[in-house]
Amino acid sequence: MRNITKLRINTRDILTSMVFGVTAGVLASILERIDTILTGGNATPLGYSNTYGWILLSAYLYGPFGALITTEVQAIIGLLTAANPLSWLWPAVKAVFTIVAGVTALAIQRIRPQSSTKTRIITMSFMLASLDIPAVYFVMVLVLGLPVIVYYVGLPLHIGLQLLPATLIAYLQVMERTGLKI
């Protein structure tokens, strides 16, 4: 297993991270509108899985800085297209998640450099799912002012979306982009 995650990134990595961000942002704008049609705006499973799939991919390939570029470009596109009523909040929230994912990717590489791609992606996803516990509370209860019961009902959905589809999406994206075999 070759080490991929980087602490330093070059111009090519920056441009690729930006392209990932544009792709993720365009997809998010479309998927979050589909989510609104399907759920009336009460849930965003497609947009959520898309976002975290890109965070994991970019963090795996380019570390915290590449992931930060990807998600902030995506967040800016979300702001410009008003993809979600909370678009104003996502740049800060996504920054926290990307730094956690990128640092986790670097830590895995340093501690267990022989770990498989699947192990790295699943570990990053688990860390993000753990971060979802306070983040979902912050957004649902403190920002939106919803009752705590809504948080308890919504939390399993968020963690399940993080651990299952977002992890699978990221893993398949890594396989496709790096040419690694499943």
Residue 76: HSE in the Cβ half-sphere, 13 Å Cα cutoff: 9
Spatial separation of the C-alpha atoms in residues 63 and 113, rounded to whole Å: 14
40 DSSP 8-state letter: T
Report which of 102, 88, 118 is spatially closest to residue 54, judged by C-alpha positions: 102
Contact present, 129 and 162 (Cβ < 8 Å): yes
Residues 6+ apart with CB under 8 A from 69: 14, 17, 18, 21, 58, 62
Q: How confident is the model at residue 175 (pLDDT cuts 50, 70, 90)?
A: confident
Spatial separation of the C-alpha atoms in residues 70 and 22, rounded to whole Å: 8
Report which of 22, 39, 140, 138 is spatially closest to residue 81, judged by C-alpha positions: 22
For residue 180, pLDDT beyond 70:
no
Structurally, at CATH architecture level, domain 11-178 sits in Orthogonal Bundle (1.10)
Question: Mean pLDDT, to the nearest integer, of 149-155?
Answer: 85
Q: What is the mean pLDDT of the chain?
A: 85
CA angle 58/29/34 to nearest 5° reads 115
Contact present, 121 and 163 (Cβ < 8 Å): no
For residue 15, pLDDT beyond 90:
yes
Q: Is the pTM of this model over 0.85?
A: no
For residue 1, pLDDT beyond 60:
no
- Range 48-79 burial, b when 16+ CB lie within 10 A, else e: bbbbbbbbbbbbbbbbbbbbbbbbbbbbbbbe
Window from 11-15, 50-54, 104-108 with minimum mean pLDDT: 50-54
Residue 101 belongs to what H/E stretch?
Answer: helix 90-111
For the stretch 25-81, pLDDT in tens is: 999 889 888 988 887 766 678 888 888 889 998 998 898 999 999 999 999 998 898
